[in-house]
Amino acid sequence: MLRPSIPLGRFAGVRVGLNPTVLVIAVLLVTGLAFGRLPAAFPGYGVAGYLAAAVAGTLAFLASLLAHELAHAVVARREGVEVAGVTLWLLGGVAHLRGEPRTPGADLRIAAAGPLVSLALGVCFGLLALAGQGLVRGTLTYLAGANLVLAVFNLVPGAPLDGGRILRALLWAWRGDRVFAAVVAAKAGKAVGWTLLALGGIMLLTGAGLQGVWFGVVGLFVAGAAAAEERHARAIAPQKSPTVT
């Protein structure tokens, strides 16, 4: 389990903390907004204005990540799954669940909660952006886009992404075999991870630089986490299950 070392307290009854690696993404976001995206779109505001907007946008995005993970945690608790806490880190957030959902429906509801919250936040920020001007509008537009991208990316059907959990729930409901469903979702996750890694390599070769590195890091994490989930699923597979191949 990814350990938080900076406790933030409890939100909705769930313990929340930060892993120090979240500072890396915070610095990257502030830098990219203050010295790249915002000055290019809205010139003439001065360094202080861009930095203030970038810091506000970064904090709001981290809060959006927290809302995404808290949605998973709150629904999990309602479904009878114990929640150890939520951690924000370099690649986003993690809701630490102790135990597994008892039914495919519970699995589906827990998995879908996060993307639904991100989608709702994206729409809300987008509507607010329509009423804003200048840097305020630019920051809100960024937050709308970031939340929509977060929702869509997490719906990619491969574990450990939320889309992989949804795929697992649907396969579990169809076949009645949770182990089979978990292995298929994990294999899909490995394919997603290696695809992201390959895209990152192509982007590096074509001059995308930091974006290529980021795709590669995310791809390695997804592939590694998916492989771990597949090993776990096979380890707990009952001997009578011939469907796991």
Q: How does DSSP assign 107-136, residue by residue? A: HHHHHHHHHHHHHHHHHHHHHHHHH--HHH
Eight-state DSSP code of residue 4: P
pLDDT (0 to 100) of residue 206: 86
Q: Model-level pTM greater than 0.85?
A: yes
Residue 166: alpha-carbon gap to chain centroid: 14
- Per-residue pLDDT for 122 more than 60? yes
Number of neighbours of residue 131 by Cβ within 10 angstroms: 9
**Residues whose CB falls within 8 Å of the CB of residue 43, separated by 6 or more in sequence, listed in order:** none
pLDDT (0 to 100) of residue 238: 57
pLDDT (0 to 100) of residue 13: 86
List pLDDT tens digits, range 10-28: 988 899 999 999 999 999 9
pLDDT (0 to 100) of residue 226: 94
- Per-residue pLDDT for 241 more than 70? no
Mean pLDDT over each residue of the chain, to the nearest integer: 91
- Per-residue pLDDT for 203 more than 70? yes
pLDDT (0 to 100) of residue 237: 65
Which residues are annotated as catalytic? 69
pLDDT (0 to 100) of residue 245: 32
Distance between CA atoms of residues 24 and 244, nearest Å: 39
* Band of pLDDT at residue 205, cut at 50, 70 and 90: confident
Work out the average pLDDT over 33-40: 95
51 compared with 3, residue with greater pLDDT:
51
Per-residue tokens: 70: 């808290």
pLDDT (0 to 100) of residue 242: 35
Bridge partner residues of 213 (DSSP): none
- Per-residue pLDDT for 244 more than 80? no
Work out the average pLDDT over 75-92: 92
Residue with tokens 């396969």: 171
Each domain of the chain, given as residue ranges in start order, spans: 6-155, 176-245
Segment (H or E) for 19: none
- Per-residue pLDDT for 161 more than 80? yes
Segment (H or E) for 16: strand 14-18
